[in-house]
Amino acid sequence: MKIQTRITELLGIRYPIIQGGMMWVGTAEMASAVSNAGGLGTLTALTQPTPEALVKEIARCREMTDQPFAVNLTLLPAVNPPPYAEYRQAIIESGIKIVETAGNKPHEHIEAFKQHGIIVIHKCTSVRHALSAQRIGADIISIDGFECAGHPGEDDIPGLILIPAAADQLTVPIVASGGFADGRGLVAALALGAEGINMGTRFCATKEAPIHSNIKQFYVDNDERATHLLYRQFRNTTRVAKNAVSDLVVKMSEDPNLQFEQIRPYVSGLKGKLALENGDIDAGVLTAGQVMGLIHDIPTCQALIENIMQEAEQIVQQRLAQFFPR
């Protein structure tokens, strides 16, 4: 089944399913597999150590797919931030047509991308930020509910409320993000006013995801209760999987005087990368969403997307139809 929304039309994809930018996971292997399956794959710019390395990864992805794919540029709070302008220029000079941005103060980046005719998807966790991104030129808003992996914002609004609240006020198309894994979620997102879905954790549990099989099985074995929220006291809330490291950080966070430097050694991004590579579940912090409760297998990206679309069609044509007899 082919489905047509403003998302599929704008992005030139067959199905309104987007693989979100994921640190250490958004490589050419991941992005090309999703794009070849009819969705939109996404390279994560900051996974590459330098802008020059990103240029090479973009070229490598083009060798693996002739379908549209995006590059994610996430703006992270940091004492010594990456050279964002150089990564941005690498994206532009590589001829990328679709970019996913996320994080605070994306104005200069969105404006620069728009000047080069690039379609911008901006990820937001609140309606007010979505409206701001729309005003400065974002073509698509990815609205991220509280269930999501990574940064859910500080308002704690779940997708069931946040998606229709955003749809009520935005004029650009919306991608629903956070808590999506199957056809039920896609149909629900469309009913709530979105025109596509974004999945992160679910794509980690696929055969093509460039992470250790132990970590993929970890996502399958966990349920919807198996996450922690870290860094709340620093107003940089992050949802991660429960493991020995996140358990320790939660315990340390009971101290009202905790300083970030005290937990920094445990939450290093490089330790998380090591865990993804070597399969040691307790080697570092692992980003994961509550959607783990809906992940029960490790399919190929092709099979996953096809199953989502088949299930969505069945729900609309059979399950929902029975409630509206003619």
Q: Using the 8-state DSSP alphabet, how is residue 314 labeled?
A: H
259 in Cβ contact with 252 (< 8 Å): no
* 3-class SS shares of the chain: helix, strand, coil, % to 5: 45, 15, 40
Summarised one tens digit per residue, pLDDT across range 209-231 is 999 999 999 999 999 999 999 99
Question: What is the rounded distance in angstroms from the CA atom of residue 295 to the CA atom of residue 62?
Answer: 29
Give φ, ψ of 197 to 5 degrees: -130, 155
Q: Give pLDDT, residue 80.
A: 85
Rg (alpha carbons) of the chain, rounded to whole number: 19
Residues 6 or more apart whose Cβ sits within 8 Å of residue 267 = 230, 245, 249, 284, 285
Question: What is the rounded distance in angstroms from the CA atom of residue 153 to the CA atom of residue 35?
Answer: 28
Beta partners for residue 141, in sequence order:
122, 174
Q: Give pLDDT, residue 231.
A: 95
Say which amino acid occupies 114.
K
What DSSP string describes 141-209?
Answer: EEEE-TTSSB---SS---HHHHHHHHHHH--S-EEEESS--SHHHHHHHHHHT-S-EEESHHHHTSTTS
Pair type for strands 227-230 and 238-241: antiparallel
Find where tokens 């911008």 sit. Answer: 120
Identify the three-state secondary structure at position 187: helix
Pair type for strands 227-230 and 197-199: unpaired
CA–CA–CA angle 165, 171, 173 (5° rounding) = 85
Find where tokens 């007899």 sit. Answer: 325
Identify the three-state secondary structure at position 233: helix
Question: What is the rounded distance in angstroms from the CA atom of residue 27 to the CA atom of residue 35?
Answer: 12
Give the number of other Cβ atoms within 10 Å of residue 104's Cβ. Answer: 9
Summarised one tens digit per residue, pLDDT across range 234-284 is 999 999 999 999 999 999 999 999 999 999 999 988 999 999 999 999 999
pTM of the model: 0.96
Give the chain's residues under pLDDT 70.
Answer: 1
Pair type for strands 238-241 and 69-75: unpaired
146 in Cβ contact with 157 (< 8 Å): yes
Which tokens belong to 249?
Answer: 């950080």
Which tokens belong to 151?
Answer: 């940064």
Q: Give pLDDT, residue 105.
A: 87
Element (H, E) at 232: none
Element (H, E) at 110: helix 107-115
Q: Give pLDDT, residue 76.
A: 84
What DSSP string describes 166-179?
Answer: HHHH--S-EEEESS
Q: Give pLDDT, residue 148.
A: 97
Q: Give pLDDT, residue 79.
A: 73
Q: Give pLDDT, residue 219.
A: 98
Find where tokens 């998302």 sit. Answer: 7
